Structure formats: structure tokens, C-alpha cells
Amino acid sequence: MIDGTAGVSGRRDADEALLDNPAALAEADPGDMLRHTASAGAQVRESAALAAEANLSVLADDGRPRAVVIAGIGTAGRTGDVLATVAGPRCPVPVIAHRSAGVPGWVGAADVVIAVSASGRSPEALGAAEAAHRRGARLVAVGAPDSRLQSIAEQARAPFIPVPRRAPARASLWALTVPVLLAARSLGLVKVNEADLAETAARLDADADRCRSNAESFVNPAKSLALGLAGSIPIVWGSSPLATVAARRFGDTLSANARYPVVTGALGEAGRGRVGLLDGVFGGLAEGERDIFADPAEDDGDGTRLRLVLLRDGGLNADDDTDEPLAVEERRADAVQTLAERRGVRCDVVTAEGGSALERLASLIAVPDFASIYLALAHGLDPMAVPAITEMKELSNQ
């Protein structure tokens, strides 16, 4: 059902003109990753409806849990990071994203395990669901209907949210995330309300429209971000914990869709170490040796350069929970932009918009998601079929 073009092929140099040719884009994207990515808003609405049909209120019967563990790998694992950031630093219980098989040794009857798997069959999520049931923890499962995950949930008499599988897991982030958030809401751990979900879906729809394939590069933020990144080594830093989740997500999609190496992380942390990259071989040293009179379109070919993408989360509500004062985050974001400018390292900035944490997160994820696909297409890579992932699964028998 989910099919792309197998085999490793593509071109080293990005074909910029292809991005302004909608027919060629469609041809280069046989699995329709652009359309799947554009369904993000619809995914939010559909998953909210599916979660409303599941009996999540039983989760609250035993009161507030000691901890919540979100178990899954890849995109399913990212949903745990989203929940942790939306729950915020004042969340009364620990929210832990767990990415290996099974559950942490301390998990027991006082805890809740949310097992997530788009296919409903990752060994990590299945192992966690089984372990949770064995240990008497409360279990919720999110994933493909009629899957092994669903039967484990049924055996455990645990709520199961059947998320239809129409696209690869990484194009289903929103479909998987919303049930996780709503399970946590029924435990009283997050404040996401119906208006937040509706506004988040509307924002994802609007961003999908701005990033549509027939919107040309000079008005399409995803195409221009992709063209800026072409041929570079991207560094993606988030100015806040929420923006850092979006940065890590961009790392996932840049690697899997566009097959670009990428450094991602929190700007606060990077400022104490990784920011040194800006001084190095791919940063200031490469830029310092560049012939300033050379045509920037005619790259000399030997200069792989960093490109900084800064995800800024400036629009906090006064009543939002934060780790650090907004002013500290803002100063740090301004500082790294100055550092990049001084060294000639180019920098793209995506600034969060919207009221709720969820909507702000969506505003930092949507355009980069599309950019990763446009970058793949410009290189002639099918963003859906990733031979290396398939081969890894075959070779490691998973």
C-alpha cells in the first residue's frame, strides 16, 4: 500500500529549477509525500475524533499516575518529546520518552505507559505494551488498526486509538501525536483544549497552502528554505525546549527524506559547546577563504559550508510555563545570529506563531517538514522510499 521507488539514485547537485515545475515535482514524488505532509491539519482533526471514540476516561479512574512513559521508536518516539514539551516544566509527574524495547525497570502499577507505533508492529512499542501489561501499569496504545499492537491492547483491556496508516510514520507525526496528548489530558497532565486543536489544525492547513507545490520558490517558505540548505551542512538549533523538539524533528526529516547530515539541538546547550562549529572548517574557515567577488551561484565545489537554521519561539503567553525567562532565550537567539553573521555563516530563521504551545510547535514544524521533501526532490531522491532504512530492517531482521 505504501510504495515509493526503491533503489539508490539521485543527483549530487540540487536542481533548483525543478522546484518551480509542479509537473516535474509530482513525477519525482511517486509516493505523494507532499500530499501526505499537507494532510497534517486533517490528521489532527481525524485523530482527535478517533481519540474521542476511545474510552480514555478509564485512565483517570486510578487517579494521577506516578510517571508517564511514551514508548516507541522513530516518529512514534518523537510523540513523547512533544508531550513532554506541551506538558511543560511544571507538569506534576515525569513524562519520559522511552525508545528501546520494553519499559524502564522501575515501571509498575502506579505508572501509565503509552505505546505508539504507526505500523502497530515495532518491537519497541510491542515490547513496551506487553511489559506494561505484565507489570500492571495502565496502558494506552496508539497505532494501526488490526495490528499486533491492537491485539495486545485488547488482551490488556486497554484503550486503543486506531490511527489509519496512509503514509510512512514520519509523515504521520500529527496523527500519532494527538492521541498521545489527549490520553495525557484525560490524566490531567496537559491543558490542550478543543480550540487549541482546531487552531493547530488550521495553522497546519495554512502552512500547507503556503508550501504547496505550485507556489513558486520566492513566495514558498519551504522551497526557499530547501534551496538555502542545498549543498550545505545544516545546523538546526531551537531557542526554547519547544523549539528544540521542532529542531530535532527537522533533523529526522532532513536525514530520512533529504538524506542530509544534520546537527540539531537546544541553543542553550549548543552555546556551551557546539557553537564552536561556527569557527571551524565548515564554518568561519570556509567562509573566510571564499572569493567575495565570485558568483555565489557558481560554487567552487570544494567548500561545503554550514547553514544555520534557527527556530525561534518568541510568542509565549504570559501564563505559559517556561524553564527560563523569555528574555534570556531571546538574547541567546540574537547572539547566535550575530555570531553567524560575523563569520559569514548563512542563517535562516523560522519564528513560532500562535497562542498555544501546540500551535507554536506546529508553526515550527510545518515549513521545515515541507523543506525536507523539496530538498529531496531537488536532488532526485524519492522522499518516501529510503533504501537504507529498508536494508537496515532486512539485515538486522527487524
Ligand X SMILES: O=P(O)(O)OC[C@H]1O[C@@H](O)[C@@H](O)[C@@H](O)[C@@H]1O
- Distant-in-sequence contacts of 272-278, Cβ < 8 A, 24+ apart: 274/235, 275/336, 275/339, 277/235, 277/306, 278/306, 278/308, 278/339, 278/340, 278/343, 278/345
**CB atoms inside a 10 Å sphere around CB 288:** 9
- Least Å distance, CB 188 to ligand X, is 27
Nearer Cβ to ligand X, position 331 or 393?
393
Figure out which of the listed residues 38, 76, 84, 201 binds ligand X, where binding follows CB under 6 A.
76
- Least Å distance, CB 8 to ligand X, is 17
Applying the rule CB under 6 A, the residues between 107 and 146 that interact with ligand X are 117-119, 122, 125
Applying the rule CB under 6 A, the residues between 140 and 169 that interact with ligand X are 168-169
Nearer Cβ to ligand X, position 141 or 377?
141
Contact stretch for ligand X (CB under 6 A) within 33-41, 69-77, 205-213, 302-310: 69-77
Contact stretch for ligand X (CB under 6 A) within 70-78, 132-140, 214-222, 342-350: 70-78
Nearer Cβ to ligand X, position 116 or 247?
116
Q: What is the DSSP string of 3-65?
A: ----S----SS--GGGGG-HHHHHHH-TT-HHHHHHTHHHHHHHHHHHHHHS-GGGGGGG-S-
Q: Residue type for 275, please?
A: V
Figure out which of the listed residues 75, 85, 232, 240 binds ligand X, where binding follows CB under 6 A.
75
Residue 356: exposure state from Cβ atoms within 10 A (0-12, 13-18, ≥19):
buried
Residue closest to 274 by CA, chosen among 263, 282, 284: 263
- Distant-in-sequence contacts of 284-288, Cβ < 8 A, 24+ apart: 284/343, 284/344, 284/345, 287/343, 287/344, 287/345, 288/343, 288/344
Q: Is 372 in the site for ligand X (CB under 6 A)?
A: no
Q: Is 389 in the site for ligand X (CB under 6 A)?
A: yes
Chain position whose Cβ is nearest to ligand X:
74
> What character string, x for contact with ligand X (CB under 6 A) and - otherwise, covers 235-274?
----------------------------------------
Nearer Cβ to ligand X, position 73 or 227?
73
Nearer Cβ to ligand X, position 88 or 168?
168
Nearer Cβ to ligand X, position 220 or 253?
253
Nearer Cβ to ligand X, position 39 or 224?
39
Q: Is 345 in the site for ligand X (CB under 6 A)?
A: no
Q: What's the N-to-C CA distance of the chain in angstroms?
A: 19
# residues near ligand X by CB under 6 A: 15
Residue closest to 355 by CA, chosen among 237, 181, 193: 193
DSSP class of residue 380 equals T
108: enclosing H helix or E strand: none
| 309 φ, ψ (degrees, to nearest 5) | -115, 115
> What character string, x for contact with ligand X (CB under 6 A) and - otherwise, covers 170-189?
x-------------------
Residue closest to 311 by CA, chosen among 272, 259, 271, 348: 348
Figure out which of the listed residues 31, 41, 74, 179 binds ligand X, where binding follows CB under 6 A.
74
Nearer Cβ to ligand X, position 74 or 221?
74
Binding residues vs ligand X (CB under 6 A): 72-76, 117-119, 122, 125, 168-170, 389, 393
